[in-house]
Homo-oligomer: A and B are copies of this chain.
Amino acid sequence: MNPSVEMMKNMPMSDTSVMSGMDMMAMQNLVDAASACMQACTMCSDAMAGMDGMGTCAAVCANCADVCSTMMRMMLRPMGMERDSLMAMLEACITICRVCRDECSTHIGMSEACAMCATACDACMTACQDMLSAMQTPAA
């Protein structure tokens, strides 16, 4: 378990009902996946900015990096956890990771960065979906 999740277990929360249905493994996976995706997208955006004709891919990756970073930071603020906000941001992150994955997937043959970025986006998308499911499952 990474230190962030370890910290979170001990933290005060504003709305324990939001967290009560949360799977802590899903939380750990989400923070790790978002962090990895932000890093991959930042690097892929940088690499694509230097290649002819890849401006759209660079911009889509830059957007995805920012969205993953913001979503992750919301997950790291237990005091601010509120169901509508978290779900709306997870939905946005899923959409933007999908768009980035689809864009990068078209360049896998020519770019190792795009291949790794597409994989990271796909994993982040899945982690967001798992968290959404966990939030929608009533606590036992």
Contacts and interface: CB of A to CB of B under 8 A. Distances in A.
Interface of A: 2-4, 6-8, 10-12, 14-15, 31, 35-36, 39-40, 42-56, 58-60, 62-63, 65-67, 69-70, 72-74, 76-82, 84-85, 88-89, 91-92, 94-96, 98-99, 112-113, 116, 120
B79 A3 contact: no
A139 B99 CA distance: 24
Nearest to A46: B77
- Which label, helix, strand, loop or mixed, suits the secondary structure of the A interface? helix
A34 to B, nearest CB: 10
A95 B88 contact: yes
A120 B3 CA distance: 9
